[in-house]
Amino acid sequence: MESFSETGLNRLIIEAVGELGFEKPTPIQARTIPHLLSSDRDLIALAQTGTGKTAAFGLPALHLTRPFDKRTQTIILCPTRELCLQIVKDLQAYAKHLKDVNIVAVYGGSSIEAQIKALRRGAQIVVGTPGRTRDLIKRKKLVLDAVERVVLDEADEMLTMGFKEELDAILATTPEDKQTLLFSATMSPDILAVTKKYMSDIEQIEVASRNKGAEKVKHIYYTAHSRDRYEVLKRIADINPDIYGIVFCRTRRETKEIANKLIQDGYNADSLHGDLSQAQRDEVMEKFRQKHYQILVATDVAARGLDVHDLSHVININLPDNIESYVHRSGRTGRAGKEGISIAIIHTRENRKLRDIEFKSGIRFNKGSIPSGKEICKKQLFALIDKVEKVQIDETQIGPFLPEVYKKLEWLNREELIKHFVSVEFNRFLEYYKDARDLNIVDRKKSTKKEKRSPAERRKTAFTRLYINAGTKNNLNPKRLIGLINHGLDSGTVGIGKIEILKKFSFFEIEEKAAPALIKALLGKKFEDVSLLVEISPEKKQKRNSNAKRSRNHYEKKRGGKKRKR
């Protein structure tokens, strides 16, 4: 389909779309619009982010709206408040020349009274988040018994966010013979279940090609030890002085931790996560949009509503649990015709996951080399020199001081002078990256040598040696132990040192500051058939060789003693 005029949409809608600069329908629009205008069959439309799904359902919904019937004819459900507002804004722009069509947004975190008022005036199209929509239905302020179409936008996200129950309740109040339209970037078993339950006689439209934006994304992965992830992140930021990016974390806790460290280390950064109030979130997002911050650390869910399109980088501090999330995350860079970079910091254990993403999404990763201290210094130095070259000079302001300045610096020749000026700005950097380690994991054999930290580095992160009452007998292995630790701390960034798995119990080293929290977190937790107990190992200071043996004796005695008591 070459133009909107061929779609059969109302002339006034086509006019508004033209004013927005839409020249022709996107592929998903070219296929969904004719369907919705001519058929009552339910529809599943699968297309990547940024392919124009809002207009794909929005334009036909507006076209089909009967202006003089004030009942709600279309209900659009979407996962977040931000998306809800975005959809309403888009629909209002498409409906600019239509008379008597009211579009109302209902979402949580905002006065329900105002929304009730708006609904009372008559809303033919309601766009809502599941929670608030259900609430309004319960209060009988929103009535869906005249609804002709239900749109589930970003259905995958709604399910990931756990809105299944709300959807059930809302859909139960809609008429049998409505048309149900499901839009999603991905198809998942959860979605399949929803379609089975609520949809019948389904037409499925899938736009296979990835959007242009996504094709402009370079996917790079760095392999590093878990404990080095933050350091790797810093190097990425340092080698890209003009970075404007989002760092994705799995948990709120990790998000906060990383953002705090970045702020302490002097970066323009902030965080976005579910512990913030809506007002705080809005403020952070606005500041990030205005490039007040260069780096935003966020969870997937919190970043959902952020409509920033010109990110230079998306950084995955670790790979997300599902493939769709990676696709969503990386889709946020490389928009608006610019090339974007999506970086995943992974551990060798995560290689399989990476291949899985490649296989299922068609994305190709290239292995990157974590920049060395020297490379970073060079990059930063040249960024500085560039700035010096291009700086605006205000002769009238600085002029009067210059003779005295020249005089004072007379004793330095040109080369020396440059050295001095550069060092003023640069010494801190050089100091930090002096003797910087190579953070790349090359391969097993080589890496063990490189990995050995210098005594100075070991001192930097103090480790505590802990005892845990599970061992090979309980199928504990290093991998599962690391899993237990990361899970217990809800973080993948804590430093883990030497691990010794013995038969009935084990020892491991962990960053000192994380030890108390871990001991607490794991106490009484079930692992296989053991109720876990973690304690600080008293042999901490003893020589390594004798460590295992002595500890074993100590605990053998201790455990034996306990047993006898029972």
Residue 92 site contact among ligand ADP, Mg ion, none (CB < 5 to 8 Å, cut-off depends on kind)? none
Task: Give the nearer residue to ligand ADP in terms of CB position, either 17 or 496.
Answer: 17
The stretch near Mg ion (CB under 5 A) out of 53-61, 230-238, 296-304, 454-462 is 53-61
Helices (H) and strands (E) in the chain, counts: 25, 20
Q: Determine if 327 is a binding residue for ligand ADP (CB under 6 A).
A: no
Residue number, 57 or 467, with CB nearest to Mg ion: 57
Count of Cβ atoms closer than 10 Å to residue 542 Cβ: 14
Number of residues in contact with Mg ion under rule CB under 5 A: 1
Amino acid identity at 515? A
Name residues whose C-beta falls within 8 Å of residue 545's C-beta, 6 or more positions apart in sequence.
none
Give the CA radius of gyration of the chain. Answer: 29
The CB-of-29 to ligand ADP minimum distance in angstroms stands at 6
One of 10, 33, 36, 50 touching ligand ADP (CB under 6 A): 50
For residue 239, the minimal CB distance to ligand ADP (Å) is 31
Q: Closer to ligand ADP at the Cβ: 83 or 482? A: 83
Q: Which of 7, 10, 26, 299 touches ligand ADP (CB under 6 A)?
A: 26
What is the Cα–Cα distance from 466 to 507, expressed in whole angstroms?
A: 5
Residue 332 touches Mg ion, criterion: CB under 5 A: no
Our CB check for ligand ADP shows the closer of 51 and 226 to be: 51
53 binds Mg ion (CB under 5 A): yes
Residue 49 interacting with ligand ADP (CB under 6 A)? yes
β-bridge pairing 103-106 and 179-184: unpaired
Contacted entry of Mg ion, ligand ADP, none for residue 51, CB cut-off 5 to 8 Å set by kind = ligand ADP
Residue (51 or 133) nearer to ligand ADP, CB: 51
Site for ligand ADP in 520-559 (CB under 6 A): none
Q: Give the span between the Cα atoms of 433 and 235, in whole angstroms.
A: 10
283/212 Cα distance (integer angstroms): 30
Instruction: Write down the least CB distance from residue 335 to ligand ADP, Å.
Output: 9
Secondary structure class of 150 (helix, strand, coil): strand
CB of 185 to Mg ion, least distance (A): 8
Residue nearest to Mg ion (CB): 53
How does DSSP assign 43-84, residue by residue? Answer: EEEE--TTS-HHHHHHHHHHHH--TT--S--EEEE-S-HHHH
Sign of the CA dihedral with 426 first, then 431, 434, and 437 last: negative
Q: Closer to ligand ADP at the Cβ: 45 or 343?
A: 45
Q: If contact means CB under 5 to 8 A according to the sort of partner, which of Mg ion, ligand ADP, none does residue 73 touch?
A: none
Stretch of residues binding ligand ADP (CB under 6 A), selected from 53-61, 94-102, 272-280, 522-530: 53-61
Q: How many whole angstroms from its chain centre is CA 308?
A: 13
Residue 332 has which token pair?
């946020």
Distance CA 349, CA 30 (A): 43
The least CB distance from residue 50 to ligand ADP, in Å, is: 5
**How many Cβ atoms sit within 10 Å of the Cβ of residue 520?**
11
Is residue 59 within 8 A of residue 151, CB to CB? The reply is: no
Cα(51)–Cα(25) distance, integer angstroms: 10
Judged by the rule CB under 6 A, the positions of this chain that interact with ligand ADP are: 22, 25-26, 29, 47, 49-55
Judged by the rule CB under 5 A, the positions of this chain that interact with Mg ion are: 53
